[in-house]
Amino acid sequence: MVVGLSNIFHIEARALLEGLKFAWAKGYRRVEIESDNSILVTIIQNGQATNKNYSEVKLIQDWCFKSWEVKF
């Protein structure tokens, strides 16, 4: 994964997104997400990813609504 020059929020969101994709591809249908970034978790859970700066977060939300169980 290439991250380039990004802030830590975007890097953590990107890593979480890639982890969800990996788990789905491996056939897992129950995942538990742990993160020390409470702002990221709150934004994901509350659906506050309306700003274009949160494109990774919007994708994470989309992945969380697939037919599997996701816990934070």
C-alpha distance from residue 38 to each of 21, 29, 42 (Å):
21, 24, 6
The pLDDT value recorded for residue 44 is 87
The pLDDT value recorded for residue 1 is 59
The pLDDT value recorded for residue 69 is 93
Q: φ and ψ at 51, to 5 degrees?
A: -75, 145
Domain spans in the chain, listed from the N-terminal domain onward: 8-33
Q: How far apart are CA 29 and CA 6, in angstroms?
A: 30
Give me the residues of the chain with pLDDT under 70, please: 1-6, 48-53
pTM to 2 decimals? 0.80
With beta carbons less than 8 A apart as the criterion, state whether 24 and 66 touch: yes
